[in-house]
Amino acid sequence: MHPADLVKYAHRKGLSALAITDHDTIEGISEAIAAGESLGIEVVPGLELSVKYCDHSLHLLGYLFDPRNEELLLALDRLQAGRRERNRKIILNLNRLGCSIQFKELQQSAGPGQNGRPHIARLMIEKKCVGTMDEAFEKYLGHGGLAYASRFVYGAGEAISLIQNAGGIAVLAHPLQLERSVDHLPHFVQQLRDMGLDGIEVYYPNHSRQFRKHLISLAEKLSLVLTGGSDFHGTIRPGTTLAGGKNVTVPPQLLVKMKERVLRNRMNSSEKISN
């Protein structure tokens, strides 16, 4: 969905605020903010980064940063270059496997903004190389798949610093996915907190009530802010939607706490400079 359409959808659902956390790009923020101002919805600058730490892949969310920050924009340019190179490698691998896709077709199909494996999967369905998105990822595009190719990503510490240097807060996304791959989630999160992590995504569609309580307790112990999100990816994931209604509900007061964390970080940074 285009950013403005997503904001309109949020307005129809009765949301008071939202963040569009695209992977490795913030190109949609200005359009979303303009749409939000016309509809009376607060649009929070957002971003999602894939990062590495201790041989683990994880996702970091960035919120409330300055989208004009030059350091952040340069870092995202490098990630975009890595994505384009990875897309070319995947398409070459698919061609070798008998699935004929051209890089130009990917650009035309994806349109403006981000393009990547979901768009390649959609082309694979159109070309009848696979029947479903799940098949495309499980057999070809997912980690270890027949056409998989890696790409450049930042380390967790670097990514946290990039977000914070741009005036934002860094949040660990959907920790349930991470819990399945690390031996001891609380210890892992504490290591990230020691690097500067600000928060943890607690409210998420497939987080059970028990797991949510566990995360809230962990956040309180480590002085992390709570956040929440629907991880809505549009119609490519049937049955998903934005927060609200039967989907995950995110308490409005969390945004207040997030903004307080931004101010606290700013004060701490000022104190360090003056000292």
**Could you tell me the maximum CA-CA distance found in the chain, to the nearest angstrom?**
63
DSSP string covering 124-161: HHHTTS-SSHHHIIIIIISTT-TT------EEHHHHHH
Q: Where is pLDDT greater, at 149 or 245?
A: 149
Structure tokens at 242: 């934005």
Structure tokens at 128: 């009848």
Mean of pLDDT over the chain = 91
What lies within 8 Å, CB to CB, of 259 at 6+ separation is 64
Angle between helical axes of 156-165 and 70-96 (0-180°, round to 10): 140
Is there a contact between 143 and 35 (Cβ–Cβ < 8 Å)? no
Look at residue 103 in the predicted model and tell me its pLDDT.
87
Question: Highest mean pLDDT range out of 102-111, 243-252, 259-268?
Answer: 259-268
Selection from 205, 197, 213 nearest residue 231 by Cα: 205
Lowest mean pLDDT among 66-75, 216-225, 235-244: 235-244
Q: Whole-angstrom Cα distance, residue 55 to residue 74?
A: 25
Lowest mean pLDDT among 32-41, 154-163, 260-269: 260-269
Eight-class DSSP state of 50: E
Structure tokens at 240: 């998903």
pLDDT(55) > 80: yes
Selection from 97, 96, 95, 89 nearest residue 117 by Cα: 89
Look at residue 247 in the predicted model and tell me its pLDDT.
79
Look at residue 116 in the predicted model and tell me its pLDDT.
84
Structure tokens at 218: 């962990």
What lies within 8 Å, CB to CB, of 262 at 6+ separation is 64, 167, 168, 169
Main-chain dihedrals φ then ψ at residue 155, nearest 5 degrees: -75, 160
Is beta strand 154-155 parallel, antiparallel or unpaired with respect to 225-228?
A: unpaired
Domain boundaries, given as residue ranges, for the chain: 49-76+153-238+247-274, 80-141
CATH 1.10.3720.10 correct for 49-76+153-238+247-274: no
Average pLDDT for residues 197-218, to the nearest whole number?
95
Main-chain dihedrals φ then ψ at residue 157, nearest 5 degrees: -60, -40
Look at residue 111 in the predicted model and tell me its pLDDT.
67
pLDDT(38) > 70: yes
pLDDT(113) > 70: no
pLDDT(235) > 80: no
* Residues paired with 44 in a beta bridge: 19
Q: Whole-angstrom Cα distance, residue 156 to residue 83?
A: 18
pLDDT(240) > 70: yes
Average pLDDT for residues 182-209, to the nearest whole number?
93
CATH topology of domain 80-141: DNA polymerase; domain 1 (1.10.150)
Q: Is 241 helix (H, G, I), strand (E, B) or coil?
A: coil
Average pLDDT for residues 117-133, to the nearest whole number?
92
pLDDT(226) > 80: yes
pLDDT(181) > 80: no
E-strand stretches of 7-161: 17-19, 42-44, 46-53, 56-63, 154-155
Q: Is 204 helix (H, G, I), strand (E, B) or coil?
A: coil
CA 175 to chain centre: 12
Question: What is the band of 269 on the pLDDT scale with cuts at 50, 70, 90?
Answer: confident
pLDDT(179) > 80: no
- H or E element that contains 231: none
Q: Where is pLDDT greater, at 188 or 271?
A: 188
% of the chain surpassing 70 pLDDT:
96
The pTM score is: 0.89
Look at residue 175 in the predicted model and tell me its pLDDT.
93
Average pLDDT for residues 56-83, to the nearest whole number?
95
Look at residue 78 in the predicted model and tell me its pLDDT.
94
